[in-house]
Homo-oligomer: A and B are copies of this chain.
């Protein structure tokens, strides 16, 4: 049931049913979010009628969706649960294509009957449903944003390539807020809620075809339909990476999940096997999920697992070696030709006497960017190197800002690069500049290890399937 859900993310007109003029109410907060950047038409609906003013704009309030003197593609519904089925009927009469049901009080509150009724009515009219009991969808590209958390509490990330879907609304909100601070660009966010109709697999398929999404990520407690998930994931991962943070891995976690989303978290081993067989990357934590996602959004997958490390700090090189080996990667054995290049450059005084080029290539503490460039080129030119890790301890004043442009020049080699810059404010500033050149930068060695792992692992999957 492949379906293009563009009407849900790029609607020309939207009705907000349960819109309110009272600050603090969900129906007011949604109006605030949805009218901030989105330039489609927004029609508030409330049985009380009247007028709503948000973001400096005034909107007449319709008493029913049927009164709206225009087509309505999407209805965002935030009325008490018991009214939702009838609202769905009205939407059906109006020709609405999709309903984003924010309202809670369904299955999660012991009212499975109400949820079944909702689905039955929606099916009758051919309306696709997001939720209920969710934060809705947010399209970071056009600003279509149903999320009722106010921007002063939950920032929105910049537009970018990472899509995120979440079975937990609250955690999804935290992720958006966090991504905004970390400047991780997102394409679309989906709060899945109870998944009465549209589920994680439907969105996975849609995002797989979405040209604005480069990487699909998700938080799940349990999938709704195992077979559907398996088949969809297997197909989509050949086009773009899918990264999943699966919780409910332990007995206690599974119990908690059951009382949270009602998900049958199931035997974790079965999930692991399914991820393995479908090429889904499993992240064990939120940070790891985004370490993976950033790497795959910014770099091409690696053609092998042989990694070269260039560093101005020996200790960080040791830690990186440990991290890579512990995760199944290898330190590249540099070719004789490369060794010869280093030997010669040291002889000629272009590189310092006491450096080590045994990989980790330790260009020592007083390395300027020009020394980095020589070492990076030698490593990238080596056919034994599939991926380059660059570690820069910017605390050394010898390291000049020329490193930013140098990274730009390294792109020509076409090999994936991961940059690690531990420390405080100055490295953070440099990180942003380097990321503008398309190279992902990580704050710690262990985050960088995650990044390498994702690029190597996804590359393996593509190779196994003849796609790389």
Instruction: Please report A residues at the B interface, Cβ cutoff 8 Å.
Output: 24, 29, 108-109, 149-150, 152-155, 166-171, 173-178, 180-181, 219, 221, 245, 247-253, 255-257, 259-261, 284-288, 312-319, 321-326, 330-331, 354, 356, 358, 360, 362, 365, 393-397, 422-428, 443-446
Contact = CB atoms under 8 A, between A and B. Distances in A.
Nearest to A331: B252
B445 A286 contact: yes
A141 to B, nearest CB: 20
A380 B166 CA distance: 31
A408 to B, nearest CB: 22
Contact of A446 (B108, B149, B287, B395): B287
Which one of A153, A287, A426 has the greatest number of beta carbons of chain B within 10 Å?
A153
Contacts of A288: 446
B177 A426 contact: yes
B249 A315 contact: no
A153 B426 contact: yes
Which one of A152, A255, A322, A446 has the greatest number of beta carbons of chain B within 10 Å?
A322
A72 to B, nearest CB: 28
A245 B445 CA distance: 13
B444 A285 contact: yes
A326 B150 contact: no
Contacts of A425: 155, 177, 181
Contacts of A287: 444, 446
Nearest to A316: B171
B253 A318 contact: yes
Contact of A178 (B169, B365, B422): B422
Given A170-B316, A314-B170, A395-B170, A322 B181 contact: no
A219 B286 contact: no
A314 B444 contact: no
A354 B109 contact: yes
B318 A256 contact: yes
A181 B319 contact: no
A394 B174 CA distance: 8
A394 B150 CA distance: 11
Contact of A248 (B180, B322, B394): B322
A346 to B, nearest CB: 14
Contacts of A397: 24, 29, 149-150, 153
23 contacts: A24-B397, A149-B395, A152-B426, A168-B313, A169-B365, A170-B312, A170-B395, A170-B396, A171-B393, A173-B393, A173-B395, A175-B422, A177-B423, A178-B424, A221-B315, A247-B318, A249-B326, A253-B319, A255-B321, A255-B358, A261-B315, A284-B446, A285-B444
B170 A315 contact: yes
Contacts of A445: 285-286
A442 B331 CA distance: 33
B247 A315 contact: yes
B315 A171 contact: yes
Given A170-B393, A219-B315, A177 B424 contact: yes
Nearest to A263: B318
Which one of A155, A260, A287 has the greatest number of beta carbons of chain B within 10 Å?
A260
Contact of A393 (B174, B319, B365, B427): B174
A449 B444 CA distance: 18
A350 to B, nearest CB: 19
A318 B248 contact: yes
Nearest to A147: B395
Given A149-B395, A256-B360, 20 more contacts: A24-B397, A152-B426, A166-B315, A168-B316, A170-B395, A171-B313, A171-B316, A171-B422, A173-B423, A177-B427, A178-B422, A181-B424, A181-B428, A250-B321, A251-B325, A252-B322, A253-B318, A255-B321, A259-B356, A287-B444
A108 B444 CA distance: 26
Given A260-B362, A318-B248, A394-B153, A174 B313 contact: yes
A170 B321 contact: no
Which one of A108, A249, A423 has the greatest number of beta carbons of chain B within 10 Å?
A423
